[in-house]
Structures are given as structure tokens and as C-alpha cells.
Structure 1
Amino acid sequence: MKVQLRSSRMIKPLYEDTPPQTRNNISLSVFDKATYDSHMAIIYAFRPPTPPNKAIKVALQKVLVVYREWAGRLGKDDKGEPIILLNDEGVRFIEAYVDGSLDQALLLKPSATLLSLHPSLKQRVCPRARDEERDSFSEMGVVELLQVQLTRFTCGSLVVGFTSHHLVADGHSTSKFLVAWGQACRGLEISPLPLHDRTIFTPRNPPIFEFEHKGVEFTSLKTHNLKHNSVDNIVVHKVHYTVEFLAKLKDKASSMNGNNNKPFTKFESLVAHLWRAITKSRCLNGHETTQIRISIDGRQRLNPKVSNEYFGNLVLWAFPSAKVKTLLQEPLFYAVKLIHDAITKVNNNYFRSFIDFANFKVKEENLMTTADMTKTTLCPNLEVDSWLRFPFYDLDFGGGCPYVFIPSYYPTEGMMFLLPSFIGDGSIDVFIPLFEENLTAFEEICYTID
């Protein structure tokens, strides 16, 4: 598939009245600072009819008035703290064309081909990427926080590649922005409006360090792993789990839950199943410890709750772990309970403890975040990024919702993405990067419930 770039330009917010002063800035919250300092990319596919590129572009300019952060730039204040400059420098808008049908693009099969359907990823460059892509990245202060690519096909289909910086917003907030973009394109009022105040996470006086955060969300500079490995032997495998399979998995896990009448969730059961299957396919030493990093949204866990319209990052992680031998010898229930208990632990008290620690200890002890997108191998560990509850499929420019929504090509061994299937029946698609030599073993057991 040869993607022909037609144009690349910067577009800025389109104000109806006088633009606001551009010297304003937003300080990054402790949750922003703890997340991944990198761009993430997602890809949409729409069947015809779709609005012309100009209509989509103008809608983007209008929604940037409400979400000014995306049109800004990263910078630092006079104390050296990271901020978002609300300077309306704009976002990158690329128009491209493919002389062929979208069916030939094989969007449903994760591969490096996807890299040509969205703007480049800063700090996360696949070795297969073009040389010119490697040279295009900007330094702090001029980084384009949002980049969009519209790729048209001869069949009339449209692919939208969306590259956004994670320091600005988490998946929850980004999905809300995308829905608002569609509203603007359809001539609707943007609703609900985002909450932009990132100063709401104030530490307690005195601070209470109730939980351990060093070695969890943060690590010292001396011990931080900066090793980079090749991705040539990593394959991104897609697995589809039907509603029937998920129900059986959940029933199997919950049937051993004793006197607790509350069943485990579908998510907990599936992640436990994948943890065991991937660990088995890796052929690890039984005495090794394996751990999963699971994202936890704090909006409903903090007390008082934070509005769902909060725009920014508000995520911490659960870290269930086990010895390989025990994980594989014990029944599914064992792994599910480890995951359930670890997730339950990340409650209001944990979030408050994190806020206190991040405000008082990180700078004092010269710590850095453990969230690292530069790693290419997580073995013996895993990471789970669940997009099951985000309204990504609700993006509608006027011709209907997308029929494909997928993450880009992320060949990081062990970093999984869980998405609701485009079928729309409650089934789940999982994108799993594995070492090529482990793929056959995984395929043989990924549908076996034991």
C-alpha cells in the first residue's frame, strides 16, 4: 500500500470572537507527570459517504477552541516545572491518498503498514519507520501535541490517523475530545464541555504516605532501565473473544469464589486468562516472578468523585504479581483473584497517598516515572491497556460511526490492548505483541479454558 501525501499544514483554533491572550499556561498535574511521555496513535476507518476534508478540518479548528491544550506546546515555567503553553500554535493536519481500495490495506491485521496511516510518533519510532520520520521529531517546547492524517481511498473510504501526546490527556479524555470533534463536524453544540482545571489534586497537610510508591509508579534514575531491544522478532497478534467465550470464562472464574456472591468481572477474567496463556507460551523459569501493569481510572475512585468531563490524565496502575510456577499450577480463580485484589487496592486512599507522595517526595528524591514507552520487551511482565469503556466508536463526522477502530502498530512485547470488537455484540478484540517463537504455543492455548 503506497500512501501519497498531498499536503501537510498547521491549523489553529477558529475563534468566532477575539482570540484569548496566548500567554496563559496549564501546569501538568501529578498524574500527567507520572504517565507516558510519548505520543500514542489510533486509526479509524469510515465507509462512504464521508464529509470532505475541508469540513473535517474546520470542525477540528472549532473544537480546538474548546480544547486549547491540543493546539498548545509543552514548555516549562520559571521554576522548571512542565506546563502546557496555551499559545494556539496549532496542530498538524495531513491529507493523503491511496490509489486503491481500503480492502487492500488489511486494517484488521496489525502490521507496520499502519505506520503510514497516521503522523509519526515522537519517542516511539519503529525501526522499520522511514528515515525522514526519524528526523522529523521536535524538541521540548515545539512538539506538536496533536497530529491528524486523513487518507482517502479510491473506493471512497476514509482513514483517520490520530496521533496525540499522552502528557496532555489519557484515553478517557481523548475519546471525549474525538466525540466533540464529530459533534462540531455535524454542526452540533459541543456537549458536555470539558473540565480543564488541573489544580484540583492538592496534597493533604500534613501528607500521609499510606502506600509504597517508590518502585511502583516511580523509580530512581540510577535503577531505571533504559535498555532498547530490537523488535524484528516481535509479532503483533490479534485475538477475537466471542461473547459466549467471555461468559464461560467469567463463570469458570467466579464459580470458585466461595461465599462471595459477587462474580468477577469479564475484564478481570479475561486478563487472568491471557496472563496465564502468555506466561505459559513464554516458557519461563518457574521461579521467575511475572507482573501485570493494569491502568485504573481515578475519576470514580477518588472521594469526592472527579467529573467524567475532567480533561487530562487521571490514571494509576494495579500491579498483580505471582511466581510463574504458581500462576500456571493454580486454577484460573487464583489469577483472577490476584487481579481483583490488586485493582481493589487502588482506591481513594491509594490515590490520595499518591498525590501526597508525588508532591513531596518525587523531586526531593530525584525520582522518575516507571511509565516507559521506549521499552520493546516486557517479558516476564505484561501491560494491559483497556479501551473497553471509552466512547471511541462514537466519533461521527456525519456519515455514521467508524466500522474499524484500532491502535496503531506497537511492537512492544507483552503490551496488550483490549478493545470492543467492531461487530458491536459485546465481543472483545485483543492486540498482543509476542516473540515470534512463542506465537504458535500461544495460539494453541488462547481459547482453552482450564
Structure 2
Amino acid sequence: MNVRVESSRIIKPFYDGKKDPPSTKQHIPLSVFDKVTYNSHVAVIYAYRPPTPQNAILELGLRKALAQYREFAGRLGLNDKGDGAIFLNDEGMRFVEASIDSTLDQAMPLKPSPALLSLHPSLKGVEELVQVQLTRFSCGSLVVGYTSHHLVADGQATSNFLVAWGQACRGLDIRPVPFNDRTLFVPREPPIFEFEHNGVEFMNKKLKDNYIVEDAFDEEIVVHKVHFAVEFLAKLKARASSSNGNNERYSTFKCLVAHLWRAITKARGLNGFETTMMRISVNGRVRLNPKVPDEYFGNLVLWAFPSAKVKDLLREPLSYAVKLIDNAVAKVNNNYFQSFIDFATHKVEEEGLVPTADMNKSVLCPNLEVDSWLRIPFYDLDFGGGSPFIFMPSYFPTEVL
């Protein structure tokens, strides 16, 4: 696609008539959940059919949303203690206007490919914590390319910001307002290290430096976007439930992930005695006790790590893999989250540990990484004409589900 950038500039929060805007001298320390996640930008793509609002309306809506979500208008840095923090300096986000001399239908279908990278700003060397690119097609269709830094917000929090942007564009009050308290996660005294976290969420820095090898296969990885029929999913769930011995009903997500785990493992032709593992994201908002509201703005995700010998995964029925996933996810409960908070607060710096989360690895064989967006309201970004007809991640050549 021959995308032409018309303008690129910084926009800042709009406080809508407030005589005393908030101080730009404050900062918010990163929480233990912020520090353990991926230290990189992530990008998504939206597409809307005409009519769509003018760019000026979308820009003003963003500025109003930034007034509520000030972290995204700030910058990452270190505080006077040397800890990672978000500085609420209102330095703003990047706003890009672009156009293309063809219709969106001519570019369809939008597949995960390097062509998508022209529909949003670059993810490399970015100081701004949020970037938006509005690309207008000759037919009047609009593609919105959005990027944000993962250290600031996870998928749930990011989607809340995007929904707020749509509300502001429609002249509505932003509801609900973000819950910004990142001091919730207080370690227990004395700390209780009930679970192992070294080698799970964290690893020794020297060990990680020796472990990471530059991947040379990016150009050989083909990214597929797949739709599964409702009938196929129903049969998959019925097969998993009928063979587990007690007719336990498993979720569609767990059944599909188990099926893909087995199919990909078989296609890889791995040695039967090799171990394969999955990294599955788990939202802590509903797992902590007391629960943390959905409007919490920040990161609150850990991971489940089901694993199996290749020969067992392929020999046993589908229900075996589903049960492994179900058990692993169930273990990431309130006790696990509390143990993580204690460990991350007291042991990480002491033992010289760093996060295992790494978006720079593109080849994960014999393992897999799984992120579910099923319950995250990304499709609720409505500028006044309804939900997008396309929502998808940008092109990222790696082995994930």
C-alpha cells in the first residue's frame, strides 16, 4: 500500500475549561505488574466504513481522553530512587494523518503482513507512550492504527482508553473514569513465597543474556489469521467434554487452545520425550481478593504455564490437553498473585532478576504463547457510526496464538 503521510505532530490533553489544570511535576511509580510485562509498544488496526468523523473531531476526542488517562500523555523514566515511573508531564502523544489513493476494498482482505506496518507509526525508538495514525482511503473509509507502550497498560486498560476516546468523539462523558491507584499491590509482612517465581516470571539477568539468541527467521515466519466455524467449535467442545470421564464442560477458549497446541506440536515433528509448554495470560482483576475493578488502569496480568511431554500430548485424547490448561489457569489464583507481589517486591532486586517476558523472540519452538482478547472490549471503539468492521493486531512475526 502506498500510504502518504500528510502530517505528524504531538497533541496534548485538553482539560475543557479547567482554570487550574493538574500539575505536570508528578510521577507514578510502576507497579510490580508493570515491571514484569513486555517492555515494548504493541499495535492494533481498526477499519471503519464511511461516513466517519473528520480528523479534527477525532483529534479533539483523543485530547479529551488524554485528560482522563494522563499516563498516556506522559513519559517513562526513573524517579529519584532509580525506580521505573510514569511522569505525568503532559508532553503528549503522536498524531499522524495519512492518505492513500485507492479504496479500502482494493486493499482487502487486510492480512497480517508487512504491509500493515504502513498503517501505524513505527514501534521502534518511540518516546511517546501512545501513537495514532488516521489513514483515509479514496472511498472515504478510515483505518486507525494505534500503538501504546505495554509497561503503561495491559489490554483491558488500553481498551478502556480506546472506548473513552470514542465516547469523547460522540460528545459523551467518559464513563467509567479510570481507576488509577497503582499502590494497591502491597506485599505482606512477613512475605510469603508460596510459589516459585524465579524461572517463571523472572530469571537471572546473566542467564537470560546467555539464553537469548538473535532470531534469524523473521522473514520465514508466515502469520495466519484464522476464523473457526461455530459448528467446528461446538464439535471440539463436545469431544473434549465427552472424553474427560465426568462430562465436565470446558470453555471454548480452552478447547480451541488445546486443539491448536496438539496440532502445532504434531506439525513440528518434535521428539516424543521433549517437553512443550504454553504461556497463557491470566487477568488478575477477577482473581485477586478483593477484586480489582475492570477500570483499573495499568498492568494486572500474570501467566499460566501448562506443559506436557510431546508423546503424552499427542497420544492422549483432547481432554488431556484441556485439563492441563484448565488446571494451570486455576492455579493462578489470589494466593498466586499475592505470592508474586511478595516475591517481586523483596527478591527481584536482591537476586538480580529480570522478567522472562520478551517480545524480541520470534521463534518459540517447542513452546507457544497465547493471549486471549475475548472479553476485552476492543470492538467498542465507536466514533458515532458504530463498531469497526475490522479489528486486528498489526503484523508481528512470531509464534503466538
Global fold match (TM > 0.5)? yes
The answer for the alignment partner of 2:400 in structure 1 is 415
- 8 Å CA contact 2:76–2:85 kept in 1: the answer is yes
SS in 2 for 1:160: strand
- 8 Å CA contact 1:228–1:376 kept in 2: the answer is no
SS in 2 for 1:74: strand
CA deviation string 1:115-136 (max 9, x = no partner): 00011113xxxxxxxxxxxxxx
- In the TM superposition, residue 334 of structure 1 has moved relative to its aligned partner by 0.7
The answer for the alignment partner of 2:164 in structure 1 is 180
Letter in 1 for 2:236: L
Distance change in 2, residues 1:169/1:107 (3 Å): farther
SS in 1 for 2:311: helix
- Distance in 1 between residues matched to 2:286 and 2:377, nearest whole Å: 17
The answer for the alignment partner of 2:221 in structure 1 is 234
- In the TM superposition, residue 106 of structure 1 has moved relative to its aligned partner by 2.8
Is 1:254 the counterpart of 2:241? The answer is yes
The answer for the alignment partner of 1:332 in structure 2 is 318
Deviates more, 1:277-286 or 1:356-365: 277-286
CA deviation string 1:46-93 (max 9, x = no partner): 000000000000000011000000000001111110000000000000
Aligned length: 396
The answer for the alignment partner of 1:381 in structure 2 is 367
- In the TM superposition, residue 325 of structure 1 has moved relative to its aligned partner by 1.3
Is 1:210 the counterpart of 2:190? The answer is no
Residues 146-225 of structure 1: matches in 2 within 5 Å?
146-224=130-208, 225=211
Letter in 1 for 2:232: F
The answer for the alignment partner of 2:91 in structure 1 is 89
- 8 Å CA contact 2:75–2:91 kept in 1: the answer is yes
Letter in 2 for 1:240: H
- Distance in 1 between residues matched to 2:285 and 2:225, nearest whole Å: 30
Residues 258-269 of structure 1: matches in 2 within 5 Å?
258-259=245-246, 262-269=248-255
- Distance in 1 between residues matched to 2:356 and 2:42, nearest whole Å: 17
- Distance in 2 between residues matched to 1:68 and 1:262, nearest whole Å: 45
SS in 2 for 1:316: strand
Alignment RMSD: 0.9
Query: Quick one: percent identity of the two aligned structures?
Result: 68
- In the TM superposition, residue 256 of structure 1 has moved relative to its aligned partner by 2.2
- Distance in 2 between residues matched to 1:59 and 1:340, nearest whole Å: 41
Letter in 1 for 2:2: K
Letter in 1 for 2:238: D
- 8 Å CA contact 1:11–1:91 kept in 2: the answer is yes
The answer for the alignment partner of 2:232 in structure 1 is 245
- In the TM superposition, residue 226 of structure 1 has moved relative to its aligned partner by 2.4
Flag structure 1 segments of 5+ consecutive residues without an equivalent. Answer: 123-136, 417-450
The answer for the alignment partner of 2:356 in structure 1 is 370
What TM-score do the two structures reach when normalised by structure 1?
A: 0.87
- 8 Å CA contact 2:244–2:320 kept in 1: the answer is no
Letter in 2 for 1:182: G
- In the TM superposition, residue 9 of structure 1 has moved relative to its aligned partner by 0.2
CA deviation string 1:347-398 (max 9, x = no partner): 0000000000000000000100000001111011000011111111110011
The answer for the alignment partner of 2:262 in structure 1 is 276
The answer for the alignment partner of 2:7 in structure 1 is 7
Letter in 2 for 1:43: I
SS in 2 for 1:312: coil
Is 1:59 the counterpart of 2:44? The answer is no
- Distance in 2 between residues matched to 1:71 and 1:196, nearest whole Å: 14
Flag structure 2 segments of 5+ consecutive residues without an equivalent. Answer: none
SS in 2 for 1:148: strand
- 8 Å CA contact 1:43–1:162 kept in 2: the answer is yes
What TM-score do the two structures reach when normalised by structure 2?
A: 0.97
CA deviation string 1:31-50 (max 9, x = no partner): 00000000000000000000
SS in 2 for 1:204: coil
Is 1:111 the counterpart of 2:116? The answer is no
- In the TM superposition, residue 107 of structure 1 has moved relative to its aligned partner by 4.3
- In the TM superposition, residue 156 of structure 1 has moved relative to its aligned partner by 0.5
The answer for the alignment partner of 1:447 in structure 2 is none
